[in-house]
Structure 1
């Protein structure tokens, strides 16, 4: 690490070995000191990686010590989970992370939400979906993200910290099926969005996180104007390689209209 970067702000990334963290890490390392936190860290050698259970309050407080920001990516992203699993993997870990952030006086928090928090709007009559609409989750996973956003708002109001919730689309994967073209977030745009969110000083905000896709299903105006997000990629460049739907996922997709 060069001398200038050694003085950079410290961002703690939960779920540090996960898909989204892996995608955005190169962007983070250009501007921040990074502490990656993951329960599976023992078997990996990665700079700045710490093994910890972010769902354990004591461990969470320890790994967030000295942080200038936390990027909370830990959780289970499967839309097929039961509510019990969603609560344990996503809701509880968010609550513990926010409590640890409060205990350490962390001034900036970015929470990974999901399009599933508004999945019932993924219909032609609502597109592009406005993030200011009331949440309408399409599955237990989406409901968990609605709770995550509510916890984030409460944290911002109670502590004065800046909290940004990003309703991420398809991240870390190519849009192999046509139904994903309207919700794709490219690797580079994921990096741009994350940096914009970490730099934002809004008290609380919820924004959709997708690329500048021609199939404009999710309105990213607020991310552009309030965060300064400048996406450069478009899923249409990959449309020729996208095939039909492979099967049901959850109510985020209406079989007759989602493509």
Structure 2
């Protein structure tokens, strides 16, 4: 299977290629602003907003994994202000061009990197209590809920999910919207990752209340790199879905995102759990 990944050299892209690029089933091309580090991946250094290049690279591809995203200074996940920005507009254009080009190239499937922020207000309304095992909040967010974006970033993800639905319903392209929770770089690929990264950045000290809150949250939200790659693999190998939404999260005991739907439809079987006993203390 020939697969193009936009933004393939980033955190999520390398999580996929770390586990799939050496498989005989896949010939993977990364289209990104930087060279892909894996020798098993063909690297095209280009901007995904370059429509001509994107369309050229999609020719003959079986699938598109669309991860590319223009960084936003305003309107990110912690900002609930409703306001237009140039970066927001660039992302809307990027997603429309990428999904439209994939349709025109007659790919079989599109895997889109959506986000938990498409339904992020559930967390906003219940944080931080929802992060802890003794929480009184009884919540499970599944594929049937209405979108509840927590930001312009989340609204952008809902927009691209809509484009995927249009591609599926009007153009017979199988589309998989993965509402990714928390995939991290290799060195932070564990439930203490966000807290440890913040310590490394000098944001707070290890053992502080802020540190413990970050750990509690990531033990809910974490999707290990190998679990994310498995979910993408299951999407690429699927022949039955027209359009569907799945939550990119490991089998964390305290998660509030459903994975039963992904298990039943895709055969997703996550190997990791943020509350596994090996994560009882910070990795040394």
TM interval, short-chain normalised? 0.7 to 0.9
Give the superposition deviation at 1:37: 0.5
Q: CA RMSD in A?
A: 2.1
Please give the residue correspondences for 1:41-190 in structure 2 after superposition, counting only pairs within 5 Å: 41=35, 46=39, 47-76=41-70, 78-79=76-77, 83-122=84-123, 123=126, 124=130, 125=137, 127-172=139-184, 173=188, 174-176=190-192, 177=214, 178-190=216-228
Which of the numbers 220, 224, 233 marks the counterpart of 1:195?
Answer: 233
5+ long unaligned stretches in structure 1: 1-8, 243-259
> How far apart, CA to CA, are the structure 2 residues paired with 1:211 and 1:61?
34
5+ long unaligned stretches in structure 2: 131-136, 193-213
Give the superposition deviation at 1:54: 1.4
Give the superposition deviation at 1:234: 0.2
Report the CA distance shift for 1:239/1:170 in structure 2 as closer, same or farther (over 3 A). Answer: farther
Indicate if the aligned counterparts of 1:86 and 1:141 stay in contact, CA closer than 8 A.
no
Give the superposition deviation at 1:40: 2.7
1:240 aligns with 2:240: no
Indicate if the aligned counterparts of 1:79 and 1:139 stay in contact, CA closer than 8 A.
yes
Give the superposition deviation at 1:188: 1.1
Of residues 175-184 and 225-234 in structure 1, the stretch that sits farther from structure 2 once superposed is 175-184
Indicate if the aligned counterparts of 2:177 and 2:244 stay in contact, CA closer than 8 A.
yes
Give the superposition deviation at 1:45: 7.9
Report the CA distance shift for 1:112/1:97 in structure 2 as closer, same or farther (over 3 A). Answer: same
For 1:40, the equivalent position in structure 2 comes to 34
For 1:10, the equivalent position in structure 2 comes to 2
Give the superposition deviation at 1:155: 1.1
> How far apart, CA to CA, are the structure 2 residues paired with 1:59 and 1:196?
28
- TM-score, normalising length from structure 2? 0.76
Report the CA distance shift for 1:63/1:120 in structure 2 as closer, same or farther (over 3 A). Answer: same
Indicate if the aligned counterparts of 2:88 and 2:156 stay in contact, CA closer than 8 A.
yes
> How far apart, CA to CA, are the structure 1 residues paired with 2:247 and 2:87?
21
Paired residue secondary structure (1:49)? strand
Paired residue secondary structure (1:240)? coil
Give the superposition deviation at 1:228: 1.3
Give the total of aligned pairs. 233
> Max radius of gyration: which structure?
2
